[in-house]
Structure 1
Amino acid sequence: MDIAGDIKRTFKEGSVLTRLIYINIGVFLLLKIIGVFFYLSGQSLPVYQWLSVPSVTEVLAQRPWTPITYMFLHQGFIHLFFNMIGLYWFGQLFLYHFEGGKLLGVYIMGGLWGAFLYVIAYNLLPVFSSTNGLLLGASASIFAVLVAIAFYDPNREIHLFFIGRFPLKYVAAFYVLLSVIGISSTNPGGNIAHLGGAFWGWFYIYQLRKGKDMGAGLVNLVNKIGGFFGGLFKHKSKMKVTYRKPPRDDHEYNRQKHQQQDEINRILDKIAKSGYESLTKKEKELLFKQGKK
């Protein structure tokens, strides 16, 4: 079994959602393996402190990379497991309407807004005046994805285990309310970060409906960096030029035309339900070619 080859192939050919999940899991496993060697040598592993967002602005200025690295960092397996389950569920719903680039933009910008609100709260609110903290985890980014898709498609129903079907808007509202209540609990910083991510998810869709993709610039930057390091997030087109033989008879010709018309009808239905912006690049190209005929 070529496990490493399978992982490499699925990462390369997978969606942005697949790659985000792989990176989160990969970082977790790598740090845990490194931690074993530190443990056996009788030393502690300081890398979590260097990759988490510090609440002290002076320390943050010395570690400017942490608002990015923290959103891929998990210290416990349970924390990682539930975050990845949430990212998969809500990410799939998001990709039903939008392409992967928008998911990447919402994930990263949601994480950045979570870190921003966290640092602001810890430095301005009196309750945190004598408290220093560290922020890590993908929760703020996941909240951004959840609120974004709930704001865009609020009445879509999802099935909750042991409870039943609920509209997505109520699920998002419940988690946001839970985070507000949780600020006075044992994890105030994390819950504040959740609200920062939730704000970005709402703001992103609000601006997108006006025709402004607020995450496009960041996604282009990430793709350029990814291209330099081997196409980390840039999803290469799987389209290739082929030379098809003409239909052998009228039955084959009609079958091909019927399939093509079904695809066009599906795209038109998607536009009627979710708007032109919900189309993928491939769907837009197909619609454009059809319009030129």
Structure 2
Amino acid sequence: MNLLEDLKYQFRQKENGLTKIILINVIVYLIDTILWVFSRGLENMSFFNLIYFNQHIPPIFADFLQRPWTLLTYFFSHDVPGPFHILGNMLGLYWFGRLITEYLGNRRLISLYILGGIAGAVIYLLLYNFVPYFIQHKPAIGMVGASASVFAITVAAATLLPEYYFHLVFIGPVKIKYIAAFFILISFIGSVGMNAGGNLAHLGGALLGYVFIKQLKKGRDLGKPISAISEFFNKLFTRRKIKVSYRSNEKNFSYEGDKEPDQKEIDAILDKISKSGYSSLTKREKERLFRASSKK
């Protein structure tokens, strides 16, 4: 199976949103980098600049109105040619995205990524157009990077599972709530530095991630509009399949007559995860959580 077939296979899968997001970011980065290399070699950067410029979200609101697509393109693009910007973002996305996928499901990961990017853009535009300090220090080209989306996912994971920890090299186990707090502090300090725009977007994404989980625990899913749009396009471009059902004799795998889990039950399970970890759940609680995640 060649590379193209591998990519097609990944994009056909339904429950691998994390892989798809990472692949889109990497593909966009590779295309931009290849264009940059050829443009430098030909000593003509005009085509590259046109493509790359139109991925950046501009700081001036009037310019943004002329390029509204940048509200989405900017958080799938990264600085070129250096790989460290995209590498850092994709590592953070992978580590914390796995937690969100495991506990909240594939759709909510995608919703967090998109809403976090949009929240970062809103904060970026508001401050650069209405706050005097930032009006005087507008960046020349605009902003790209998935950092706001990654911050949303990071803070969402830390809000949902504050006692969960990662083993960090040379440090040992560290609770993710402290990792998230460290990143937020660094971004706050940097909000008046050289990369002010990026750091402002980080804070916007972080705020979205926190609010998303708090609202989810109250029974409000802020990601429903994103999920609805995604489902619409999935149905539009997916061929209909004949659904075959059968009745199993095994009682453990039969959901017939079993009512859907309500939000109160799911909140209780999420609270148990937050206090005691995923391993403390019973088999039935895991099944109920998985069933709720697959339905929403």
Which category describes the TM-score, using the shorter chain as reference length? 0.7 to 0.9
Alignment pair present for 1:67 and 2:66: no
Render the CA deviation track for 1:104-137: whole Å, top value 9, x for unaligned.
Answer: 1111001000000011111122222233321110
Q: CA deviation at 1:283?
A: 7.9
Aligned pairs for 1:141-290 (under 5 A) are 141-229=149-237, 241=245, 271=269, 273-274=272-273, 279-281=289-291
Amino acid at match of 2:69: W
Alignment length (residue pairs): 265
Alpha-carbon distance in 1 for matches of 2:179, 2:236: 39
Alpha-carbon distance in 2 for matches of 1:115, 1:240: 45
Secondary structure of the corresponding residue to residue 185 of structure 1: coil
Does the CA-based 8 Å contact 2:148-2:201 persist in structure 1?
yes
Does the CA-based 8 Å contact 2:105-2:294 persist in structure 1?
no
Does the CA-based 8 Å contact 2:104-2:293 persist in structure 1?
no
Aligned pairs for 1:3-152 (under 5 A) are 3-13=3-13, 15-44=16-45, 45=48, 46-76=50-80, 77-133=83-139, 134-152=142-160
Alpha-carbon distance in 2 for matches of 1:109, 1:5: 30
Q: CA deviation at 1:42?
A: 3.0
Runs (5+) with no aligned partner, structure 1: 247-255, 262-266, 286-293
Q: Which residue of 2 aligns with 1:264?
A: none
Alpha-carbon distance in 1 for matches of 2:199, 2:69: 21
Does the CA-based 8 Å contact 1:11-1:22 persist in structure 2?
no
Q: 1:229 to 1:61 in 2, by over 3 A?
A: farther
Secondary structure of the corresponding residue to residue 55 of structure 1: coil
Q: Which residue of 2 aligns with 1:253?
A: none
User: Percent identical across equivalent pairs?
Assistant: 36
Q: CA deviation at 1:93?
A: 1.1
Secondary structure of the corresponding residue to residue 174 of structure 2: strand
Runs (5+) with no aligned partner, structure 2: 255-260, 275-284
TM-score, normalised relative to structure 2: 0.79
Alpha-carbon distance in 1 for matches of 2:34, 2:54: 17
Render the CA deviation track for 1:70-126: whole Å, top value 9, x for unaligned.
Answer: 000012311111111110000001112111111111110010000000111111222
Alpha-carbon distance in 1 for matches of 2:106, 2:294: 15
